[in-house]
Amino acid sequence: MTSLTERLETVERQEVIDDTAQLIDDEVASKSGLSGMALKGGYRVVKKLKPNMIEEAIDHLLDDFSEALDPLYQDFLEDDEVDNFEVYIQDHDSRAANDLLSITDERAEESDHRVLKKTYEKLRGQAEKHVRQALPGVGRLIDRHAPKE
| Alpha carbon separation from 66 to 33, 37, 114, 121, 122 (Å, rounded) | 31, 29, 27, 23, 25
pLDDT at position 103: 93
pLDDT at position 86: 97
Per-10-residue mean pLDDT for the chain, 149 residues long?
93 97 94 86 87 92 96 97 97 96 90 87 83 96 94
Q: What is the pTM of this model?
A: 0.85
Helix (H, G, I), strand (E, B) or coil at 12: coil
pLDDT at position 7: 95
Helix (H, G, I), strand (E, B) or coil at 54: helix
CA–CA separation, 135 and 149 (whole Å): 21
pLDDT at position 71: 97
CA–CA separation, 70 and 117 (whole Å): 27
Query: Could you read off the pLDDT of 104-119 as tens digits, one per residue?
Result: 899 888 889 888 888 8
pLDDT at position 126: 79
Q: Quick check: 8 and 145 in contact, CB under 8 A?
A: yes
Annotated domain spans of the chain? 4-145
